[in-house]
Amino acid sequence: MVTTALVMVFAIFILSLNSCNLFTTDSTYSLTGRMLKDCSGEPYKNYSLTFYIPGNGLGQKKTVLGTVSTDEKGSFILPNIPSNRSGNIHLKHTIDANYVTTWGNFTIPDSVNIYEDGAVYDLGDYYGVYTKKSLIKISIDPGSFDIWDTLYIGFGINHYSTIYPIPNEYLYDYSSNGSNIRVSSVKKELSRIWGVKKAIYQNSFVQNTSNEYIKLHTIKSIVTTCTYPDTTYYHIP
- For 125-135, the pLDDT digits (tens) are 999 999 999 99
Domains located in the chain, CATH noted: 27-127 (2.60.40.10), 130-236 (2.60.40)
Considering only residues 123 and 2, tell me which one the structure prediction assigns the higher pLDDT.
123
- In this prediction the pTM is 0.80
What average pLDDT does the chain have? 88
Between CA 212 and CA 205 the distance in angstroms is 13
- Beta carbons of 102 and 114 less than 8 angstroms apart: no
Q: Is 34 exposed, middle or buried (0-12, 13-18, 19+ CB in 10 A)?
A: buried
**DSSP 3-state assignment of 185?**
helix
Sign of CA dihedral 55, 90, 44, 67: positive
Report pLDDT for 25: 58
**Residue 39 has what DSSP assignment?**
T
**pLDDT > 70: percent of the chain:** 88
Average pLDDT over residues 202-214: 84
Q: Is the pLDDT of residue 53 over 90?
A: yes
**Nearest residue to 31 via CA among 2, 55, 57, 65:** 65
Pairing of strands 119-140, 232-236: parallel
Between CA 38 and CA 180 the distance in angstroms is 10
With bands split at pLDDT 50, 70 and 90, how would you rate the model's confidence at 11? very low
Q: Is the pLDDT of residue 171 over 50?
A: yes
